[in-house]
């Protein structure tokens, strides 16, 4: 049962990774200082995908990976620490910064700093994409 669930989650992470990569590609040439409405929508979509991908990776995929590898279930901090030990994230502090940005997005603390936040999302989004690809390779 654990293996089948993990395989399903693996397919879902492949989809999440595809859509994150697509959103990053669509946003890469946008001028953050002079956004038009359609361009703002592109960044809103990227923000949402960024936040959902981090949630899915930590709360579902890595947790399922722990289960498949017979790790004891623990807190989300434990899950992230084990991901670092597996080599899935290069720097745990950097990943915490990525999660902090996710929290800002989800809780909508962005009003005054949209340009800076969107810039951070594009940078962290590229790093998240690499983490997803490493996780997928590991999960195979």
CA–CA distance, 131 with 111 (Å, rounded to integer) = 28
Is 77's pLDDT higher than 60? yes
Is 109's pLDDT higher than 70? no
pLDDT of residue 20: 98
Is 1's pLDDT higher than 60? no
pLDDT of residue 112: 61
CA count, 13 A, side-chain hemisphere, 53? 34
Question: Is 54 in contact with 99 (CB distance < 8 Å)?
Answer: yes
Give CATH for domain 2-139. Answer: 1.20.120
Residue 46 corresponds to which tokens in the numbers above? 């990227």
Question: Is 118 in contact with 32 (CB distance < 8 Å)?
Answer: yes
Is 70's pLDDT higher than 90? no
Per-domain residue ranges for the chain?
A: 2-139
| This prediction's pTM | 0.90
- Max CA separation in the chain (angstroms): 51
Is 55's pLDDT higher than 60? yes
CA–CA distance from 138 to each of 8, 45, 98, 106 (Å)? Answer: 15, 28, 21, 28
């Amino acid at each position: 049962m654990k293996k089948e669930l993990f395989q399903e989650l693996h397919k879902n992470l492949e989809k999440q990774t595809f859509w994150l990569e697509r959103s990053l590609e669509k946003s890469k040439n946008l001028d953050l200082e002079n956004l038009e409405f359609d361009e703002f929508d592109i960044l809103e979509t990227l923000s949402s995908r960024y936040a959902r991908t981090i949630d899915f990776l930590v709360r579902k995929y890595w947790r399922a990976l722990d289960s498949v590898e017979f790790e004891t279930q623990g807190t989300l901090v434990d899950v992230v620490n084990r991901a670092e030990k597996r080599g899935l994230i290069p720097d745990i502090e950097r990943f915490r910064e990525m999660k902090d940005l996710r929290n800002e997005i989800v809780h909508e603390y962005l009003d005054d700093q949209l340009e800076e936040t969107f810039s951070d999302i594009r940078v962290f989004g590229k790093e998240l994409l690499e983490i997803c690809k490493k996780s997928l390779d590991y999960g195979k």
